[in-house]
A and B are shown apart, each in its own frame.
Chain A
Amino acid sequence: MLQIIDRRNDSKNKSAVNRNRFIRRFKGQIRKAVQEAIARRNIADIDNGEKVGIPAKDISEPQFRHGRGGRWSVVQPGNDRFVTGDEIERPEEGAGGRGSGASLEGEGLDDFVFTLSREEFLDIFFDDLALPHLVKTQLARIAEYKRVRAGYTSTGVPANINVVRSLRGATGRRLAAGGPYQKALRALRAELAELELCGDGDSERAAELRSEIARLLRRIEALPFIDTFDLRYNNRIRIPAPSTQAVMFCVMDVSGSMDDEKKQIAKRFFMLLYLFLTRTYEHIEIVFIRHHTQAMEVDEDDFFHSRETGGTVVSSALELMLRVVRERYASNVWNIYCAQASDGDNWDADSPKCRDMLEASIVPLIQYYAYIEISGGEPQNLWREYAKVKANHPQRFAMQQIAGLPDIYPVFRELFRKSLA
């Protein structure tokens, strides 16, 4: 009888394991390829996977095979000109007429090109990035617990019963509780044996002994095999796990001078930052601030999608940030980070004010401040003021310029490179 089996709904991705093995095995080469792709600045889109090529010779699977030379006798179809004995020039490399044995089995030396999925790409991209100076670990606000084994308890739920322990306890209890009976039993039996030996096996005393022995045996029998008292349960306790607390402030300029393209770049930068933080750190808080002449704390959705716009006063955002820090993130507990993106076009008098604020109150509070300026040409006034801050705090303050979409990845790597401290 014919069997037709519909496999279409079977598990997909049967090759996922092999695919992961491949990526794991050639991680070094793939990482290099990704870095080269980034350095060539030809990655503009993180929403799709990325095509990478790694040298074919690195991943070749060699077999014994023939090389050039020797005699190759080859039969080909479609003769339209030759007769036996004709001699012809050896064709150039790669042209027809070569022995199929040699030319067809040779592996090309081109790169092996394949597509990394977005996830795989980001994993590799973020692999050696980290938040700098992530040091303050505080047990003050513990949200994280680990459950660890901690011996046994006498109370618990049935699922946690430890059978070995419980039975061992029961055996011990039976031995202990039965001990006196056993002792008496041994004495009585010895006496009875003596009587029987002397031929007094039918005496009254012997009958008495026998009934006493039977009584004791019943007593021993009556000891419960296992008692609720014996039950032991695996015990697990929660212990606090130290976790670092960090908060990232994302400050984005949405003023009128930021045209659509610049906004696009800023958003992509923050998108990348957001992915990096959420994928790399389990517990991190992110505060989104957008500003024009006024600053506003918004949620993730508004941050990336709202279209409100106006003039530019950068200090408004810094003020808001300071206020949020004071209210919610007392700095001895929190690792505070800030990433700011702007086109650098600030209201003239405001830039020095920003510098003062940074120098006086913000930089001392935070671990790391990253500023990106999105402009193709000359640095703007904000850049010049910030450069002074950087000169004073080279460890904690970083700034980079982004001219176009392809710069995002290299700049991002520059800002968050893992330091080999």
Chain B
Amino acid sequence: MNKKTHALPAGSEWSFASLERYDREIGRVAGEYGLDCYRHQLEIITAEQMMDAYASIGMPVYYHHWSFGKHFLSTEKSYKRGQMGLAYEIVINSDPCIVYLMEENTLPMQALVIAHAAYGHNSFFKGNYLFRTWTSAEAIIDYLVFARNVIAECEERYGEDEVERLLDACHALMSVGVDRYKRPPKLSLVKERERRKERETYLQSQVNDLWRTLPQRQAKEATEVERRFPEEPEENLLYFIEKNAPLLEPWQREIVRIVRKIGQYFYPQRQTQLMNEGWACFWHYTMLYHLYDQHLLGDGFMLEFLQHHTNVVFQPPFNSRQFGGINPYALGFAMWRDIQRMCREPTAEDREWFPELAGSDWRASMDFAMRNFKDESFIAQYLSPKLMREFRLFNILDDADEPRLRIEAIHDEQGYRALRQALADQYNLGSREPDIQVWNVDLRGERSLTLRHFRYQGRPLGDTRDAMLKHVATLWGFPVRLEEQDERGEVTPITEVKIDRRRENHTP
């Protein structure tokens, strides 16, 4: 057999024909490995367009807001000064899955990106339970178009400044505007459009109902049994505001809803970064090696590919100048490789720690892990002692009450479990971000909103809290209070913002 005729195009210049050949071969290998992907389309873009995409979180359509302009300006600045390279690709969790390729990339680079994004990330989007339950790949682009039109329409009707003020407040609350446990309904453009009018009138009537009772002085005994509203604390601030803020106009509720929906769509990405990137790296590595083993790729190609690959999965140690925390690409890639290894060539240690993995079919085991975990649980489940030793992981405790830092655990027999637990917790968004919930609304009195911060590990809120409360107050329209509950259950008020939008509006 003549190898030359089968070899894939070499050299660094890419062409549409060569991209197609690479895609076909990589697709064939992906099929052999049983990767289940959405259809995909490759889009060639320039560096400038890549910066545009950066500014709108990679989305091909997005509404307009100054903060995207700010991100664009800072990306442009650091790119033009050479402080930062642009990502080689952006991939969008949609169906068909859209993969942006930069025109500056060399041919091996494009092949790597195709394997990494068009098959790696793509199959993760399609398979992982978080993406399956939280996002609707086939509807997102339509929804973004819908969102942009609504917001443009509102800008025309109510003025850009008014909409901008609202969006500022909503963006600030985006990270506390997600449902962590409830399942959101599917997005659909047609339904959204149909329901929009309906929802506006319905919502408004509900809100009015809530506030219809004029504040009256209640008898003492009545106040004592007065129930809290909401009865259970609500973790999704934007949802609560959308449904209950008394002074919002219907169009304002609609915008709050849009920001909330988009925030929810991005939430799984934040919860699975390590897994997702590791998965994509594992597959570009595995598939390109597969092609190399079949003599379809030359040594030149592999050298360039490996150079990029090792750059991406490099983990500098904590005392290096390059250190910037744990590299999710490095740890993710290593964990997936490690799972594969444990399935195929388990050691005695692996048999003890992972009896269900050792000797099993690696494709099935990996598929199961990919589908059913997020970063936090993935680490808690699959981080092996061997990897902890390889990465030489150690756990430091920084307790503000103690004068010195303490090493809690290292990569040794006594430390493995504690270390693994600590690392998993580090990837738990619930402990990384402050836990703030809607605690109460003073329905009978001044209609103030009380938020409660549940302190985790004694960590206080940062200095942004005053600015944040102002944003909440902008949306709520009445005073907003913030209180804090520590681990012993003691509650202390922290701060409040006094505001009454009715009065502002009514003063001539």
Interface residues in chain A, defined as those with a beta carbon under 8 Å from any beta carbon in chain B: 2-8, 10, 12-15, 17-26, 59-80, 82-90, 96-102, 104, 106, 112-115
CA distance A3 to B399 in the complex (A): 54
Within 8 A of A (CB), among B302-324: 315-320, 323-324
CB pair A82–B410 under 8 Å, yes or no, is yes
CA distance A202 to B319 in the complex (A): 120
Query: Contact mask B31-65 → A, CB, 8 Å, 1/0?
Result: 00000000011111110110110011000000011
Q: Which size class do B's interface residues fall under?
A: 35 or more
A77 CB contact (under 8 Å) in B317, B397, B404: B317
For B414, the chain A residues whose CB sits under 8 A away are 84
CB pair B392–A2 under 8 Å, yes or no, is no
Please report whether the interface of chain B is mostly helix, strand, loop or mixed according to DSSP: mixed
B457 at the interface (CB under 8 A from A): yes
B335 at the interface (CB under 8 A from A): no
For B77, the chain A residues whose CB sits under 8 A away are 113-115
Query: Contact mask B162-179 → A, CB, 8 Å, 1/0?
Result: 001000100110111000
For A70, the chain B residues whose CB sits under 8 A away are 399-400, 455-460
A87 CB contact (under 8 Å) in B19, B406, B432: B406
B20 at the interface (CB under 8 A from A): yes
Residue of A nearest to B459 (CB): A70
Q: A73-B422, A112-B70 are in contact. Are A78 and B52 (CB under 8 A)?
A: no
CB pair B407–A85 under 8 Å, yes or no, is yes
CB pair B458–A71 under 8 Å, yes or no, is yes
Q: Of B3-11, B136-144, B199-207, B465-473, which stretch is located at the interface?
A: B465-473
Given A25-B164, A64-B461, A73-B398, 4 new contacts (CB under 8 A):
A21-B65, A64-B175, A73-B425, A78-B320
For B46, the chain A residues whose CB sits under 8 A away are 8, 12
Residue of A nearest to B318 (CB): A76
Query: Contact mask B421-440 → A, CB, 8 Å, 1/0?
Result: 01101100000111010000
CB pair B462–A78 under 8 Å, yes or no, is no
Q: A62-B468, A75-B426 are in contact. Are A67 and B408 (CB under 8 A)?
A: no
Q: A75-B422, A76-B396, A98-B398 are in contact. Are A7 and B407 (CB under 8 A)?
A: no
CA distance A22 to B77 in the complex (A): 15
Least CB distance, B404 to chain A, in whole angstroms: 4
Residue of B nearest to A106 (CB): B462
For A17, the chain B residues whose CB sits under 8 A away are 64, 69
B245 at the interface (CB under 8 A from A): no
CB pair A75–B44 under 8 Å, yes or no, is no
Least CB distance, B482 to chain A, in whole angstroms: 10
CB pair A75–B395 under 8 Å, yes or no, is yes
For A6, the chain B residues whose CB sits under 8 A away are 16, 43-44
For B48, the chain A residues whose CB sits under 8 A away are 12-13
Query: Contact mask B105-121 → A, CB, 8 Å, 1/0?
Result: 00000000000000000
CB pair A63–B172 under 8 Å, yes or no, is yes
CA distance A113 to B423 in the complex (A): 36
B67 at the interface (CB under 8 A from A): yes
CB pair B457–A80 under 8 Å, yes or no, is no
B154 at the interface (CB under 8 A from A): no
CA distance A10 to B425 in the complex (A): 44
For B403, the chain A residues whose CB sits under 8 A away are 90
Q: A74-B395, A75-B394 are in contact. Are A22 and B318 (CB under 8 A)?
A: no
CA distance A60 to B67 in the complex (A): 9
For A112, the chain B residues whose CB sits under 8 A away are 70, 74
CA distance A75 to B230 in the complex (A): 38
CA distance A210 to B56 in the complex (A): 78
CB pair A84–B398 under 8 Å, yes or no, is no
CB pair A14–B459 under 8 Å, yes or no, is no
**Could you list 19 A-B pairs, sorted by A, with CB under 8 Å?**
A4-B41, A8-B44, A14-B49, A65-B433, A67-B461, A69-B400, A70-B456, A70-B459, A71-B459, A72-B457, A74-B396, A74-B426, A77-B392, A78-B317, A78-B323, A79-B392, A104-B325, A115-B73, A115-B80
